[in-house]
Amino acid sequence: MSDITVLGTGAYVPERIVSSDEVGAPAGVDGDWIIRKTKIRQRRWAAPGQATSDLAVAAGRTALEAAGLSAGDLSLIVVATSTPDRPQPPTAAYVQQQLGAMSAAAFDVNAVCSGSVFALSVAASMLARRGGHALVIGADVYSRILDPTDRRTVILFGDGAGAMVLGTGPGPRGAGARIRHIALHTFGELSDLIEVPAGGSRRPADRAALDDGAQYFAMQGREVRRFVVEQLPQLTKEFLHEAGVAAEDIAHFVPHQANGVMLDTGLEDLVLPRATTHLTLETYGNTGSASVPITLDAAARRGAFRTGDLVLLAGFGGGMSAGFALLQW
């Protein structure tokens, strides 16, 4: 993947701002409690007419503009989402059509909150073999699958999309970040920690399922926290060893924006002494597969990265899954 470059980034979040007081009321908690437990002060929720593909298209257009490319330049679109517009067809097909990228093959990837890193890996591998340009998008609308009375989940999530344009070598604007290394992990024995129980072939979303609330997102919070705290530091150390870089070489860390307090706990054993950790969760919450590219784009647009900087991306989520990518600006 040494010749694959991130040529531009983009992001989009809906206009509606939902405060922690607003989201907490139906769940029986106040905003101060949510901020103390998560560091999330507000999040954005999609308007009634907005679907995941709408957010993805907006982020994709911004990334293409940053890369100096048009939709017609794309040969591939990969959308990472666990909240598709519909079970079928793939959300990426809607994105392709709305962008007018008719020369691009388009498909979805679902690795829940790790999805954008998994999609990045797939797209980079395909480009390394056949060239061209790819649009990688992480997009989720979690507000549609949350139980408003479940304080374990509803307080965490926002809606949004983040995008990256990939190419071989420098793009028209001569800037970007070279992909140095990627690693993906799945721990299937923990697959029941994060789930939407109904709506698939195992359990259709029939009347009985709806009566049980099985159409909503569910999470075993303590076990998820244990996974992050126990696995993330060791997996990161292994990744850096595989990539041939020292922890001291990492200038920037862009983690999945799961929960601010949980990240603080998980980072205690994750020693990156020179790295600036970039966060957007205070204003956007946990945006699922969008959180890593949204945060990467925010840092890039404020000029945080300098030539030669090593940037570590880390996604983790349902599956359970984890994905790491090392970029060199």
- Which amino acid does the sequence have at 181? H
CB 156 within 8 A of CB 221: no
Cα–Cα distance list, 299 to 38, 40, 304, 305, 329 (Å)? 21, 18, 5, 7, 12
H-helix or E-strand containing 25?
none
H-helix or E-strand containing 292?
helix 291-301
CB 292 within 8 A of CB 120: no
CB 104 within 8 A of CB 133: no
Give the rounded distance of the alpha carbon of 324 from its chain centre. Answer: 12
Lookup: tokens for 161: 């999309």
Instruction: Specify burial of residue 231 (Cβ count, 10 A radius: 0-12, 13-18, 19+).
Output: middle
- Catalytic positions: 113, 256, 286
